[in-house]
A = this chain, B = another copy of it.
Amino acid sequence: MKKELSTEDKIKEAAKTVFLQKGFSGCTTREIAKAAGMNVALVCYYFRSKDQLFQLIFQSILEEFVFSLIQVFQEEMPLQDKMRILIQKRYEFVEKNPEFPNFIHNEIKRNAEFMQHNKKVFDKIASSGIFEEALIAQQKGEMRQIDMFHITMLIMSNCDFPFISRNFHISTQELTEEEMTEKLSEHRHIVSDMLMNYLFPNTTHS
């Protein structure tokens, strides 16, 4: 059923996998071609250059990432529930796309202007109204009064880092892949508990 992909799409899929796993500098066009079961020249035929192919992939991945966030913001429910779900969704998103955070950070480092090209995507978060909603909750005393910067950072730190550092912990604590997967699955509840307790201190949390 997956056989019916065009050559162009096969290369795109392979490129996504390889770029996510190894980053731009860490892989070659030949590697991507091979992963797609294609000739080297075909990569250039369809995408002109490695840079252009990367730009394309990067953008699509970035959108996927941002949309997964916005999806939650737009729901109709109390901020506290929204936050809990946000944390959960975020954690699960990274669980499914564990290479993702590292990928973004590496490529921003390699080329800081990348993000400027994709700023529009991030504006969608701001225009979702989530920040205003949080401000109101803070004024009501429902939510801890700290800058949105810190809130964002706390959520991302605790949801993204475990997967960024997956191999590190496997190595240093001598875990198997399966044990690690299990641990990371457990960890979500701890993260959720800790963050919700901290962000909404006056509430009893199940």
Q: Which residues of A contact B (CB under 8 A)?
A: 21-23, 25-26, 101-102, 104-106, 108-110, 112, 115-116, 119, 122, 146-147, 149-150, 152-154, 156-158, 160-162, 164-165, 167-169, 171-173, 183, 186-187, 190-191, 193-195, 197-198
The distance in angstroms between the C-alpha atoms of A102 and B109, with both chains bound, is: 11
* 11 CB-based A-B contacts, threshold 8 Å: A25-B25, A105-B164, A109-B167, A115-B168, A115-B171, A154-B194, A157-B157, A157-B158, A161-B161, A164-B164, A197-B197
The distance in angstroms between the C-alpha atoms of A105 and B106, with both chains bound, is: 11
Each complex incorporates copies of this chain amounting to 2
The distance in angstroms between the C-alpha atoms of A152 and B109, with both chains bound, is: 27
A102-B105, A186-B150 known; A172 and B115 CB under 8 Å?
A: yes
Check B112 against A168 for contact (C-beta < 8 Å). no
Residue of B at shortest CB range from A164? B105
Residues of B within 8 A of A195 (CB): 194
A122-B172, A197-B198 known; A153 and B187 CB under 8 Å?
A: yes
A168 to chain B minimum Cβ distance, whole angstroms, is 6
Residues of B within 8 A of A109 (CB): 21-22, 102, 167
